Amino acid sequence: MKRVMIIVSYDGTNYCGWQIQQNGLSIEEVLNKKLSQLLNEDIRVIGVSRTDSGVHALGNVAVFDTNAMMPADKISFAMNVRLPDDIKIQKSREVPRNFHPRHVKSYKIYEYKIWNHTFLEPTKRFYSLFCYIPLDVKQMRKAAAYMVGKHDFKSFCSKKADIVDTVREIYSIDIRKEGNMISILVKGNGFLYNMIRIMVGTLMKVGMNAYEPEHVIEIIEAKNRKAAGPTARPEGLTLVEIGFENVEEKKIW
């Protein structure tokens, strides 16, 4: 028996999210099915980040156990022949049997893109949020600075989530604008359900001058979902990277 870790990229447009659900096809379901067929045994992957319906990923991480003789680094090649074009494994390697990606200190980087122009650019519609109202990026950066650090982000968590500990740490938020595209890059030690999308919805309110940047402080202190801005749509969000802190590279890859 060996444990294999895979880095998975996918276009989430046609999927109901990472986690297996009854209401549609998920990334996890496709991986389980294709891995089981390839390795001729029942495979169940354990993903690090359970991305929502319509959300994309460049580097989600999952592990699974297998008795198959196939070398772990060859699994990515064999799987990519079988997987659909909107799901591909970027890397596969054997890791220690006791390694569990959800139980190791890690960081995640997400990117949210906003197409900020009078009209929609059709080729951007699946990978960014269209907003025709001009956004003040400087004000958004000021507001984002108040989100950085360790806070109770209960105001930025969907009411649907059944979570007791809502404290998370945001390491950095970088907001850039190139032409009509605004990119919000967020790095943190973990995120609550819909947290980034609510953060983006709040920052957009600041960018529209509906909130002052300092209002973010009041939103955090309120610890109430109603205090924050709306939940931004999923298509603008991409999981860029998951990294594991205080773990020597040679022990993982």
- Identify whether 52 is a catalytic site residue: yes
Task: Give the active site residue among 11, 42, 52, 152.
Answer: 52
Q: How far apart are CA 157 and CA 135, in angstroms?
A: 24
3-state SS string over the chain?
A: CEEEEEEEEECHHHCCECCCECCECCHHHHHHHHHHHHHCCCCCCEECCCCECCCEEEEEEEEEEECCCCCHHHHHHHHHHHCCCCEEEEEEEEECCCCCCCCCCEEEEEEEEEEECCCCCHHHCCCCEEECCCCCHHHHHHHHHCCCEEEECHHHCCCCCCCCCCEEEEEEEEEEEECCEEEEEEEECCCCCCHHHHHHHHHHHHHCCCCCCCHHHHHHHHCCHHHCCCCCCHHHEEEEEEEECCCCHHHHC
- Residues with active-site annotation: 52
